[in-house]
Amino acid sequence: MSFLNEKQLKDYDNNGFIAPIDVLSLEEAKEIKKEIEYIEKKWPDELIGLGRNNIHYISPVFDQVCHNSKILDAVETIIGKDILVGGTTLFIKDPDNKAFVSWHQDAKYIGFEPYNWVTAWLAITDTNEENGCMRMWPGSHKEKIKDHQDTYDQNNLLTRGQTVQNVTIEKTIPNILKAGQLSLHHPMIVHGSGPNKSNKRRIGFVIQSYIGTNVNQVLGKIFVQQARGKDTFKYHEHAKRPIELMNKNDMILKNTANEELSKIFYKDAKKIGKY
Ligand SMILES: O=C(O)CCC(=O)C(=O)O
């Protein structure tokens, strides 16, 4: 039986995203936060810059999130039963910080085609208007890909600071989630997020994205994991799942995958940014 109900699916079709979806308990979310803090303390360079990508290759805790059956049930309802994990990113906003995410459409720069994919944003901490939750422009996924300007703003958490101009906040609604809740968003929806004005960290773990096996990477190379079903298309190199934290070979895989990802994100860009 599918995990998403009819109303949620209708929301996805009409608005381009679904939220909130309960997937983890508060305790489970806290354990994941602890894993981040442990890695940051023991290996301070591991999760910064480009290293914020693909933690699921070096941490069994994050690997298990990507293969969580509740998340996959929801994802299956949208993209079908043959599912790959196409990559992950940690979006962390430290307390009282200017970091923000400009208005953008994921489809503009990720390179996954056709658009049989969905991005899963898991709240590791509560996320709300005060601490810079995502804001979504409902219905914008039904329009075309919009022009994006590369701004390279120092505080922008996106690689090139790619920005859709002239989006007014009134068009958008906040995607408020409790720790352990998930949202799913469409490749074409315009979204972004403001700074964290609270005194606590805001942490999102983003599976970016779950892709159908029929989805190719048209800008470069990615590594994938089989999450469900069968890959008869074989477009991508399959990676194995980690069984221990920071295994040497898994770290090599993460670095290789991130170097390839960087080529995708900066294809035809004027310069390389921080991430
Ligand atoms: O975490 C954020 O504030 C933005 C993340 C985002 O843009 C995305 O997941 O597509």
**Stretch 177-193: mean pLDDT, rounded?**
98
Q: Return the beta strands (E) in the chain as ranges.
A: 17-22, 83-85, 88-93, 101-105, 112-113, 117-123, 134-136, 149-150, 162-163, 173-174, 181-185, 190-193, 202-212, 216-217, 223-228, 237-238
- In three-state secondary structure terms, 260 is helix
The predicted-structure confidence for 239-249, as pLDDT tens digits, reads as follows 999 999 999 99
Is residue 1 very low, low, confident or very high in pLDDT (cuts 50, 70, 90)? very low
Look at residues 96, 131, 259, 127 and name the one whose alpha carbon lies nearest to residue 206.
127
Q: Which residues contact 212 (CB under 8 A, 6 or more apart)?
A: 79, 80, 82, 83, 84, 116, 117
**Stretch 77-90: mean pLDDT, rounded?**
98
Which of 101, 126, 190 is the best mutation target for the ligand 1 pocket, counting ligand atoms within 8 Å of the beta carbon and taking the most? 101
Fill in the amino acid letter for 21.
I
Look at residues 167, 94, 97 and name the one whose alpha carbon lies nearest to residue 135.
167
Say if residue 20 is preceded by a cis peptide, omega within 30 of 0. yes
Q: How far is the CA of 94 from the centre of ligand 1 (A)?
A: 15
Scan for tokens 């805001």, then name that residue.
Answer: 202
Q: How far is the CA of 205 from the centre of ligand 1 (A)?
A: 9
Which residue ranges have their beta carbon within 6 Å of ligand 1? 91, 101, 106, 119, 121, 134, 191, 193, 204, 206, 208
Residue 256 buriedness (CB in 10 A; 0-12 / 13-18 / 19+): middle
Look at residues 197, 171, 244, 187 and name the one whose alpha carbon lies nearest to residue 93.
197
Which of 53, 108, 122, 134 is the best mutation target for the ligand 1 pocket, counting ligand atoms within 8 Å of the beta carbon and taking the most? 134
C-alpha 42/C-alpha 37 separation (Å) is 9
- Whether pLDDT at 2 is above 90: no
Cut 0.95: pTM above it: yes
Is residue 96 very low, low, confident or very high in pLDDT (cuts 50, 70, 90)? confident
The residue among 275 and 69 whose pLDDT is bigger is 69
Q: In the predicted model, what is the mean pLDDT of the chain?
A: 96
**Stretch 180-206: mean pLDDT, rounded?**
98
pLDDT attached to residue 270: 87
Which of 94, 121, 129 is the best mutation target for the ligand 1 pocket, counting ligand atoms within 8 Å of the beta carbon and taking the most? 121
Look at residues 120, 85, 86, 114 and name the one whose alpha carbon lies nearest to residue 3.
120
Look at residues 183, 178, 132 and name the one whose alpha carbon lies nearest to residue 155.
132
Mean pLDDT is lowest, of 103-107, 201-205, 241-245, 265-269, for: 265-269
Strand 117-123 with 216-217, pairing: unpaired
* Half-sphere exposure (Cβ direction) of 25: Cα atoms closer than 13 Å: 3
The predicted-structure confidence for 99-149, as pLDDT tens digits, reads as follows 999 999 999 999 999 999 999 999 999 999 999 999 999 999 999 999 999
> How far, rounded to the nearest angstrom, does the alpha carbon of residue 180 sit from its chain's CA centroid?
15
